[in-house]
Amino acid sequence: MRTKDDFHKLIDGIEDEEVLKGYFKLIQRLNDNHTGELWDGLSSAEKEELLLSYEESFEPNNLLSHEEVKKQHNKWLEK
């Protein structure tokens, strides 16, 4: 059976509309990532900031350890 057929069967078997909406949004987001729409939707300033952040990430002094990030975000990680 083809993947599309399997996918349609899976969707047809889900009765909860909220679950379907969540899956739809997820697939839509993944598709946007794949087609470059997220990048295309950024402003010039956002693109520059993202590229700068990427370049800066190669400098070890700019990075935080995993433990430091966990400490900074502990209140969200405990939930």
The whole-angstrom separation of Cα 59 and Cα 2 is: 46
| Dihedral pair phi/psi, residue 56, rounded to 5° | -65, -25
14 and 48: one domain? Answer: no
Band of residue 31 on the pLDDT scale cut at 50, 70, 90: confident
Closest CA to 27 of 51, 50, 11: 11
35 and 14: one domain? Answer: yes
- Residues 17-29, mean pLDDT to the nearest whole number: 88
Band of residue 44 on the pLDDT scale cut at 50, 70, 90: very high
46 and 19: one domain? Answer: no
DSSP line for 3-69: HHHHHHHHHHT---HHHHHHHHHHHHHHHHHHHTHHHHTS-HHHHHHHHHHHHHTTSGGG---HHHH
46 and 25: one domain? Answer: no
The total of structural domains in the chain comes to: 2
27 and 49: one domain? Answer: no
73 and 60: one domain? Answer: yes
Please state, rounded to an integer, the average pLDDT across all residues of the chain. Answer: 88
35 and 46: one domain? Answer: no
Band of residue 34 on the pLDDT scale cut at 50, 70, 90: confident
Q: Which domain holds residue 71?
A: 42-79
